Amino acid sequence: MDKKVRVRFAPSPTGGLHIGGVRTILFNYIFAKRNNGDFVLRIEDTDQTRYVPGAEEYIINCLKWCGLNPDEGPHIGGDFAPYRQSERKPIYKQYAEELIKNGYAYYAFDTPEELENARNTIENFRYDKSTRMSLRNSLTLPEEEVQKLLAQNVPHVVRIKVPEDQNIHFTDLIRGHVSFDSNEVDDKVLLKADGMPTYHLAVVVDDYLMKITHAFRGEEWLPSAPIHILLWKYLGWEEDMPEWAHLPLILKPDGHGKLSKRDGKRLGFPVYAMNWTDPATQELAEGFKEVGFLPEAFLNMLAMLGWNDGTDQELFSLDELCEKFSLERVNKAGAKFDYEKAKWFNAEWIKKSSAKSLYPYVKDVFDAKGIQTNEEHLIQVIDMVKERCILLPDFYQQAAFFFEAPQNYDVDAVKPKWNSDKTAFFEAYIHQIEAGEFADAVALEAEFKQLAADKGLKIGEVMLPFRIMLVGGKFGPQVFDIALALGRAETIKRIEKALPLFQ
C-alpha cells in the first residue's frame, strides 16, 4: 500500500515571512491537496540565539490570511505533537548517541578559543577529515578521557563524521539528479553544547518521526542535503527518506541574487507576506496584506513565479492550482520578482471578484480612514469602481467621495472657462433635479443633455464641471451613476457647495 502523503512547512521563527517562504507553503499545500495528504506546520526553534518572540504567532497569522491552513501544527495539535522542536529536545539526544555508538558521529570538546585558534592558523579551516584528527574529540582522545570529560559535564558538541571519497546523490523532484562529493562536506554539528539539536539532526529525526513523505524547501537548503542523506542512511531510515523538491530562488528584479528585505525597502515594495515589526529595533517591514493585496492574487502571483501550466493562462484560483499544478513544470532557474506584474495580478483579481466578496476588505480600508459606510451602499460603490483599483487602498481614492463631499476641487480645470451661462445652467439644473424622478442614470443623462441644449451650451462644457462638483476631480465612474448613488439631496448639496468656488 502506498504511504499517505505528508508534507511539512518547517520555518524557524526568526522574523518576517519572506515571499519565498510563502511560495514554499503554497507548494506544500497544493501537493498535499492534490494527493489527499496532510500538511504539517513544524516550528524549528532549536537555535535559541535566533529565536524572536512573536514570530511563530505571526507565521500562523500569515497562513490564515493566505488561507493555507495546515492540518497539524503547534496551534492545533495533531497525532505527531509536539510540533515545536524546542519541546522535543529529549527526543534528539538518543539518536545522536546512537550515531556515536555506530561510529557515524563523535563528541567534540574543542573550546571556542581552540576553534578560533584553528581558524587563525589553518587556511580555510573546516572541521572535516583533514582536520578532525588534530582536534580535541572522541576520535583523538583516549576513551577514559572522553568518559571523564562527559562525566564532568565539560561543554561539548556532537559532530557527524562525514566519510571520505563518496559520491552522495539523490533525485530532486525539480532539479533531477543531484550529487555531491563528500570531501567537500564538513563535519557539521548535530547536537549543541546546550543539548539542543541543530537543524540538521532535528529536521531528519522529525521528518522521520512525523512520517513526512515529501519535503519542499528553498534552494538555499540544497548544500545541506548531503548531511541529511547521510543521517537518513546512518540512522537506518533510508527507505523512509522523503522525496525532496528544492524550490528555485525568488530573485531581485534585475536577476542578480536572492530577493532580500533590503531590496524591498530600496525599491519600494513589500517582500514579507504581512507587516513585520522587528521587536528589537522596532523597524517595520511592510507586508503584501497591508499594502492592499488580495490573498488570492498574492498566491496566484507566487505560483506563477517559475511555473505555468503550458498555456497562456495566468489567472488561477487556489482550487485550479490544486488541480493543474505539477512539479515537472516548475523552472529550475530562479524567478525574477516583478512588482508591476504582482500588482497586475491584484488588479485582475479585484476585477474578477464580486463586490460582495471584496466588501470586507474595502470596509477595512474605509474603517481605517474613519469613514462610516453601510454594507449595501458600499457594495454598490465597489461594483462601480473596482475596474479602476489596483491595490485595495485605491478604493479609498476612487470612492471616498461617495461617502464624504470633496474637500478640494480641481478648480483650475473649470474656473478659467467659467461664465454666467454655466452658473444659470446649474441653477436651472437644481430645479430640474428637484422636480424630476431621479431614478435612472440614462434618464438623468438625457435630461441633463436636453437642458444644456436648451441653454445653448455644449455638453462637454457642463459635464466636466458637474463631475468635479460631485467628486472633486477628473476621475471616477460614469457621472450619472455617481449622482444616482449619491442621491438627489446630496447631489444638489454638492452642486450648491461647489458652484460659488467655480465662478
Least gap, CB of 403 to ligand GLU (angstroms): 45
The residue (of 78 and 218) whose beta carbon lies closer to ligand GLU is: 218
Are 285 and 270 contacting, i.e. CB atoms less than 8 angstroms apart? yes
Residue from the set 199, 276, 316, 361 that interacts with ligand GLU by CB under 6 A: 199
Backbone angles phi, psi at 326, to 5 degrees: -145, 140
Least gap, CB of 281 to ligand GLU (angstroms): 21
Closest to 421 (Cα-Cα) out of 454, 446, 447: 454
Q: Would you call the peptide bond into 70 cis, given omega within 30 degrees of 0 as the criterion?
A: no
The residue (of 70 and 476) whose beta carbon lies closer to ligand GLU is: 70
Of residues 40 through 59, those in contact with ligand GLU by CB under 6 A are 44
Scan for cell 512588482, then name that residue. 339
Pattern 4-33, ligand GLU, x by CB under 6 A = ------xxx---------------------
Please tell me the distance from the alpha carbon of residue 48 to that of residue 205, in angstroms, as a whole number: 19
Closest to 480 (Cα-Cα) out of 453, 451, 442, 450: 442
Residue spans of beta strands (DSSP E) within 195-298 = 214-218, 243-247, 250-251, 276-277, 284-285
Q: What stretch of H or E contains 150?
A: helix 143-151
The residue (of 278 and 364) whose beta carbon lies closer to ligand GLU is: 278
Scan for cell 522529525, then name that residue. 206
The residue (of 55 and 444) whose beta carbon lies closer to ligand GLU is: 55
Please tell me the distance from the alpha carbon of residue 48 to that of residue 177, in angstroms, as a whole number: 35
* CA distance readout (Å), 498 to 10, 425, 448, 471, 473: 59, 14, 18, 10, 12
Least gap, CB of 8 to ligand GLU (angstroms): 7
Active site residue: 261, 336, 341, 352, which one?
261
Torsion of CA 401, 404, 408, 411, to 10 degrees: 60
The residue (of 92 and 429) whose beta carbon lies closer to ligand GLU is: 92
Least gap, CB of 85 to ligand GLU (angstroms): 9
Are 264 and 17 contacting, i.e. CB atoms less than 8 angstroms apart? no
Least gap, CB of 212 to ligand GLU (angstroms): 10
- Our finding on whether 203 is near ligand GLU (CB under 6 A) is yes
Please tell me the distance from the alpha carbon of residue 293 to that of residue 314, in angstroms, as a whole number: 17
Pattern 218-257, ligand GLU, x by CB under 6 A = ---x------------------------------------
Please tell me the distance from the alpha carbon of residue 319 to that of residue 34, in angstroms, as a whole number: 10
The residue (of 208 and 418) whose beta carbon lies closer to ligand GLU is: 208
Closest to 212 (Cα-Cα) out of 60, 375, 360, 4: 4
Scan for cell 562527559, then name that residue. 150
Residues 6+ apart with CB under 8 A from 399: 362, 381, 382, 384, 385
Least gap, CB of 411 to ligand GLU (angstroms): 56
Least gap, CB of 221 to ligand GLU (angstroms): 5
Least gap, CB of 42 to ligand GLU (angstroms): 8
Are 212 and 218 contacting, i.e. CB atoms less than 8 angstroms apart? no
The residue (of 44 and 286) whose beta carbon lies closer to ligand GLU is: 44
Please tell me the distance from the alpha carbon of residue 248 to that of residue 335, in angstroms, as a whole number: 7
Please tell me the distance from the alpha carbon of residue 7 to that of residue 37, in angstroms, as a whole number: 8
Amino acid at position 477, single letter: P
Q: Would you call the peptide bond into 163 cis, given omega within 30 degrees of 0 as the criterion?
A: no
Quick one: cell of 199? 537543524
- Our finding on whether 92 is near ligand GLU (CB under 6 A) is no
- Our finding on whether 137 is near ligand GLU (CB under 6 A) is no
The residue (of 132 and 217) whose beta carbon lies closer to ligand GLU is: 217
Residues 6+ apart with CB under 8 A from 65: 273, 274, 289, 295
The residue (of 206 and 286) whose beta carbon lies closer to ligand GLU is: 206
Interface with ligand GLU (CB under 6 A), residue total: 8
Catalytic residue check, 261: yes
Least gap, CB of 38 to ligand GLU (angstroms): 16
Residue from the set 23, 88, 132, 217 that interacts with ligand GLU by CB under 6 A: 217
Amino acid at position 327, single letter: L
User: What residues line the site for ligand GLU (CB under 6 A)?
Assistant: 10-12, 44, 199, 203, 217, 221
Give the active site residues.
261
